[in-house]
Chain A
Amino acid sequence: MTPLTSQTLIEVLYLIASILFILSLKWLSSPSTARHGVLAGEIGMVIAIGGTLLRHGIVDYKWIAISLVLGTIVGVPLGMVQMTAVPQRTALSHAFGALCVTLVGTSEFYLRSPDVPRFTMSVLAIEVILGSLTFTGSLMAAGKLQEVLPQRPITYKGQNFVNLALLAVAIAIAAYIVVNPAARTLFPAMIGIPLVFGVLMIIPIGGADMPTVISLLNSYAGLSAAAMGFVLDSKLLIIAGALDGSSGFILSVIMSKAMNRSFTNVLFGAFGQVQPAASAGQEVRAVRTASAEEAAAILSAANKVVVVPGYGMAVAQAQHKVRELYDALTKRGVEVRFAIHPVAGRMPGHMNVLLAEADIPYDALVEMDDINGDFPQTDVALVVGANDVTNPAARTDPGSPIYGMPILDVHKARTVMVIKRSMSPGFAGIDNPLYYMDRTLMLFGDAKGFVNNIVREFSGNHG
């Protein structure tokens, strides 16, 4: 084949791959077609990689083969992690994607410099700056989620100033290199500073903000890949990067809306440190408690039950016990549904995956806006490991740091039961007035153990 026709063939293969990628995301819109989407993506990927190997300029296949095999060896265990570990796996894969983009961008610079047109150099600078800050930022996020790094936000005076100054220096260096592409010695600084910035950017971010941050890093990873597409003049890469970037952006917007915060507030706000004063002057208030036996009796007398799961349920690995409770109640004719807050869990949609893993049918999982109107007609709302997303102060107390955040209207249910280890406040360190209401019963204990005790009450009654 002449170089020209093989070039055309490769472009056609890339076109097919692009179509398959778009279909892949389109089919993800419904659970019934979603798995076709994965297949379409896989076929598109194979076609694109196969087409690339046909390229005329490729002379060395040895290292390509070795690295493809190595990547597969690394990738398979990362695809087999437990569902509770999906957020840190996702953060890690953002880091890998960003690493790939940064390394390719770096090579391209040193191969082409000093002969780099200004536009190419600008997108190359965007590529490596976004890539390197996403790389370390995602590693930090993964470390926090895996709890190898402290989860509490770490803040210090002048933090935002230091971070912004660093970013400004990196951009200034980038601008200089755009004008003088021969400045090869400055290039390492353009990578090094964003690497440091990535670390510093995530240090002040706490666990509850992780869904927004992961989405934002997802968006950066996509944009850096699209920038790489501009540098390499690869339409396929531009398309894939734009799809990934817009996906991350949409998720970031949904997540920050669900916390009633702006991007800048998430990145520069450091939630946890906001109000040490609030917990200081607090008197011990009385709460009503109940045993597993009483809880079981109340649940079995109910017609409509809404379970409100939170990240605490995942930490306690209680989702399978919750499923047994779901089965026991459903068998008795009780209507059981699950109220899913958009930021429940550690990444967008995390709670749905955990419940689906426990075999709870997805039509029992209801989004916040769809279920909030039903709480007044709900006999029992059972909160398992959720806290701030049920805090009525977000609606009623303008002084509360989470005032304005959309919440699940659990407090409107006829009876509220909250499974909680102790009265300690949630991740955001905010007291929850829900616990002191007359209609609220606190069920103190480990989520898994307590739900198990309730389930045992049911099976005990019926032999």
Chain B
Amino acid sequence: MGSNLIDALFIFMLAAFIGFEVIRRVSPLLHTPLMSLTNALDAIAVVGAIVLVGERRSTVSTVLGTIAIVAATSNVVGGFLITDRMLKMFKSSRPGKDRAPSSGSKA
């Protein structure tokens, strides 16, 4: 138990550092997609709710867990969807340089 706790704190600390270093490099251009993407990733909390519902431990926990899965799944689906929609819109004025040609290149 004690070592689990210490392990967990180490993991949290390392992940927070990675988060700072990685996210510092995200261009301000993409801060809105960043927020919707981290929001979708954060909805991984759904796994906790799935376990809660799946183990069928009490009626209350099944009901609360079911609502929790609905809430988190909507974040997963909606978050990835809107992030991708936003990123699709970002185009460079130098066509071909940044992305594989999806349609005909602009004249």
Residues of A within 8 A of B (CB): 17, 21-22, 24-26, 28-32, 34-35, 37-38, 41-42, 44-45, 48-49, 52-53, 55, 57-61, 63-64, 66-68, 70-72, 74-81, 83, 86, 89-90, 93-94, 96-97, 99-101, 103-104, 106-108, 110-111, 117, 119, 214-215, 218, 221-222, 225-226, 228-230, 232-248, 250-251, 254, 340, 342, 347-350, 352-353, 356-357, 359, 361-365, 367
Whole-angstrom CA separation of A253 from B95 in the bound complex: 34
Taking the nearest CB of chain B, how far is it from the CB of A40, in angstroms? 10
Instruction: Decide if B39 touches A94 in the complex (CB within 8 Å).
Output: yes
- Collect the chain A residues with CB atoms within 8 Å of residue B26's CB: 25, 28-29
Interface centre among B1, B16, B45, B47 (most CB of A within 10 A): B45
- Collect the chain B residues with CB atoms within 8 Å of residue A83's CB: 86, 89
Taking the nearest CB of chain A, how far is it from the CB of B82, in angstroms? 5
Contact of A246 among B20, B61, B90 (CB under 8 A): B20
- Collect the chain B residues with CB atoms within 8 Å of residue A348's CB: 28, 31-32, 34-35
Taking the nearest CB of chain A, how far is it from the CB of B60, in angstroms? 6
Instruction: Decide if A72 touches B22 in the complex (CB within 8 Å).
Output: no
- Collect the chain B residues with CB atoms within 8 Å of residue A66's CB: 66
Q: Which of B28-75 contact A (CB under 8 A)?
A: 28-58, 60-62, 64-75
Would you call the interface of chain A mostly helix, strand, loop, or mixed? helix
Instruction: Decide if B81 touches A244 in the complex (CB within 8 Å).
Output: no
Instruction: Decide if B86 touches A75 in the complex (CB within 8 Å).
Output: no
Taking the nearest CB of chain A, how far is it from the CB of B16, in angstroms? 4
Residue of A nearest to B25 (CB): A29
Known: A103-B49, A111-B61, A246-B16. A28 touches B30 (CB 8 A): yes
Contact of B28 among A30, A363, A367 (CB under 8 A): A367
Known: A60-B53, A99-B67. A76 touches B35 (CB 8 A): no
What are 30 residue pairs bridging A and B, where the CB atoms are less than 8 Å apart in the complex? A25-B34, A25-B41, A26-B22, A31-B29, A38-B80, A38-B87, A45-B80, A48-B44, A59-B56, A68-B69, A70-B73, A75-B78, A83-B89, A86-B36, A89-B36, A89-B82, A93-B39, A97-B39, A111-B57, A214-B35, A218-B35, A222-B38, A229-B8, A235-B11, A236-B47, A243-B42, A245-B16, A250-B20, A347-B35, A356-B89
Whole-angstrom CA separation of A63 from B71 in the bound complex: 14
- Collect the chain B residues with CB atoms within 8 Å of residue A233's CB: 4, 8
Residue of A nearest to B42 (CB): A244
Instruction: Decide if A79 touches B62 in the complex (CB within 8 Å).
Output: no
Residue of B nearest to A108 (CB): B52
Contact of A71 among B30, B71, B91 (CB under 8 A): B71
Instruction: Decide if B37 touches A41 in the complex (CB within 8 Å).
Output: yes
Taking the nearest CB of chain A, how far is it from the CB of B15, in angstroms? 4
Instruction: Decide if B39 touches A72 in the complex (CB within 8 Å).
Output: no
Instruction: Decide if A79 touches B80 in the complex (CB within 8 Å).
Output: yes
Contact of A99 among B71, B77, B89 (CB under 8 A): B71
Taking the nearest CB of chain A, how far is it from the CB of B88, in angstroms? 7
Whole-angstrom CA separation of A363 from B90 in the bound complex: 9
Instruction: Decide if A41 touches B77 in the complex (CB within 8 Å).
Output: no
Instruction: Decide if B90 touches A119 in the complex (CB within 8 Å).
Output: no
In the A-B complex, the 8 residue pairs with the smallest Cβ-Cβ separation, listed nearest first, are: A71-B73, A79-B81, A349-B31, A75-B77, A58-B54, A246-B19, A361-B93, A78-B78
Whole-angstrom CA separation of A17 from B34 in the bound complex: 18
Instruction: Decide if A35 touches B28 in the complex (CB within 8 Å).
Output: no
Whole-angstrom CA separation of A107 from B99 in the bound complex: 47
Whole-angstrom CA separation of A79 from B87 in the bound complex: 13
- Collect the chain B residues with CB atoms within 8 Å of residue A72's CB: 73-74, 77
Instruction: Decide if A362 touches B90 in the complex (CB within 8 Å).
Output: yes
